[in-house]
């Protein structure tokens, strides 16, 4: 998105909850590849998926995803 970069804390939150990408994918109902690409910043999730991830980790979307101006 031009001058913006979306960073996320999925890896940190996974470590807190002690779950693997595989387990998170199953809980959210997506493939592990989807979680992997979001976690590495290769794919920007939709609002729905972002909210579902935040809800799973019991934090706000803004806490899970951070929009950084380059």
Nearer of residues 7 and 31 to other proteins, judged by Cβ: 31
37-54 per-residue burial string, b: 16 or more CB within 10 A, e: under 16: ebbeeeeebeeebbebbb
Which residues lie closer than 8 Å to 15 by C-beta, 6 or more apart?
A: none
Query: What minimum distance in Å lies between the beta carbon of 34 and other proteins?
Result: 5
Comparison of 3 and 47: residue with beta carbon closer to other proteins: 47
Residues forming the site for other proteins (CB under 8 A): 22-23, 25-26, 29-34, 36-38, 43, 45-46, 49
């Amino acid at each position: 998105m031009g001058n913006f970069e979306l960073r996320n804390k999925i890896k940190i939150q996974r470590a807190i909850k002690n779950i693997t990408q595989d387990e998170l994918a199953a809980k959210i109902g997506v493939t592990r590849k989807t979680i992997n690409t979001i976690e590495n910043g290769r794919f920007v999730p939709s609002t729905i998926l972002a909210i579902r991830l935040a809800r799973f980790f019991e934090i706000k979307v803004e806490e899970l995803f951070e929009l950084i101006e380059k």
